[in-house]
Structure 1
């Protein structure tokens, strides 16, 4: 089956936003402009990635498929959780006492992704309307339970599950029918309204966008569910506002969208190094452009073929990259 360039283009753009958002995060407290940009990115970049992940999900209950899920997500999670714990131990004073299933900041995605595939076995038997309704209710309700947080990535699993479900139920035609001039104008209006809203209300706690905090920890009572519902609406609108602009053509950089999981898992090495030694500063426009270039450079490096063949045995538990390389050399 021929690869659809749209998805690789989308993955490349979104993983760049992930890296860029992590690079600028320490600088947001001292800059209103960076905080606006940071919050805008966090409204949609992970929801949009998760939606694409759901698009390619199967929801199979076959034992062989379930075993494959464990190999694909849980084993790499354990490996990278251990590696990052060791990395932070030697580069910071955080110590070694990190629970195995309290994921380091970016590794939650692997635990949640495995859980979404398992939940899909149940939800795929429902109608899309019923399944999505239940998923949204669960995503809203989990915020009222203080005990559910980052452990096992339970909070994020339920909060972001609706995006995974929407992706699963979307067809190719449904996804692409929005790519018209009319909807692109609407998308610009949506983006403008959201940006204006963030500028007018810049003190929105970022915890609302992470999906890992209870309403009590966000100093919100019963209104927390209503706020999360609004966040859901904004995230869906911004995700599709991005999709209508992503081209379906193959470009020179499109191929780098094939290995975005490698970027996601490995970019924390650079981010922690930058943060520990306070290497990134933005004081003018040239600094801002430099940060964009650095972020893009990290993405292209970690999505490159040499990194792929080097880390495939750890991330995918495969050596097909090495075998293909040896065949080409021979």
Structure 2
């Protein structure tokens, strides 16, 4: 079994924190320019980076039974959590009617659906020379914005728009990531990350759909320049992904193990986010408030990646019962030990 790369797991920990933190601060971006800038800055790289790292793990696509395992790992949890969140929102809001539209992903569940489709697309694209396949993927992402019918349903828009990141990740190796650790690249990374933040602060506000990739150029009233703007998004996102990874620790630490459990955090944190938003539990008046929300976000990451939570939710998240069986076996072994010792 191949040893996990601590750099990748550490990167996933950083990214899942930004996923939670981004959702926590989202309600305040319309009130404060600084929060809007921070939110957009995060969204320029955090999901593209997650998608790129997911591509790194797709190299077994040709293995026997891989697609069946993928269906179990992605589609079954998608259906389960789609039902769960639909029911949760219905009961929480007291809505008059019940509507379960499984073809329209609830909130962040789009990632599971798109991740499944990206693996299927890799089967074709891996047969094309690397550079050409990436160019074709980018062209598809650009062209998708011209078609109004490609939108939220089945997460088609995000599937096409974000596929280049997944494909690039598929062609990358650990050595490519480690190459980002050179001193001059780290210095350049700070310049890139700072420049994007300053640029976002100076730029006028823009619809979040530009970075969420959910709608067409026409629906964004930008049919003429939409493709150019999306291409700029691709360039900036790649630069930011490399810049963030350049500063991620490459050795194991006390939080590295969380990188193996990010799917639990991703699928479950919506419960907290909806609870916070529906009850207006927080506000941001100063930097201390923002720092406090950062601590709360990290606390959510720690809680949802903990073993007790994983043991309870594993059947839903991974469609298996290994942690529960492990605990039962440990209890049986302990019981047998004491019975043998007392006899």
TM-score relative to the length of structure 2: 0.93
CA displacement at 1:145 relative to structure 2:
0.4
Which residue does the alignment assign to 1:319? Answer: 321
| Residues 1:255 and 2:257 are matched in the alignment | yes
Which residue does the alignment assign to 2:241? Answer: 239
**3-state SS of paired residue (1:289):** helix
Which residue does the alignment assign to 2:14? Answer: 13
**3-state SS of paired residue (1:249):** coil
* Matches of 1:93 and 1:181, distance apart in 2: 55
Unmatched tracts of structure 1, length 5 or more: none
Which residue does the alignment assign to 1:280? Answer: 282
Which residue does the alignment assign to 2:110? Answer: 108
* Matches of 1:96 and 1:279, distance apart in 2: 27
Range 274-283 or range 319-328, more displaced: 319-328
Range 58-67 or range 76-85, more displaced: 58-67
* Matches of 1:117 and 1:57, distance apart in 2: 7
Contact 1:32/1:202 (8 A) holds in 2: no
**3-state SS of paired residue (2:14):** helix
CA displacement at 1:55 relative to structure 2:
0.3
Contact 1:59/1:120 (8 A) holds in 2: no
Range 213-222 or range 282-291, more displaced: 282-291
Task: Provide Cα deviations, 1:122-164, integer angstroms capped at 9, x if missing partner.
Answer: 0111111111011000001000000111100000000000000
CA displacement at 1:61 relative to structure 2:
4.7
* Matches of 2:293 and 2:179, distance apart in 1: 35
CA RMSD of aligned residues (A): 1.3
Distance change in 2, residues 1:63/1:181 (3 Å): closer
* Matches of 1:214 and 1:12, distance apart in 2: 32
Distance change in 2, residues 1:62/1:5 (3 Å): closer
Task: Provide Cα deviations, 1:7-59, integer angstroms capped at 9, x if missing partner.
Answer: 11111110000000000001111011100000000000000000000001036
Which residue does the alignment assign to 2:159? Answer: 157
Contact 1:59/1:117 (8 A) holds in 2: no
**3-state SS of paired residue (2:103):** coil
TM-score relative to the length of structure 1: 0.97
Could you say which structure has the larger radius of gyration? Answer: 2
CA displacement at 1:273 relative to structure 2:
0.7
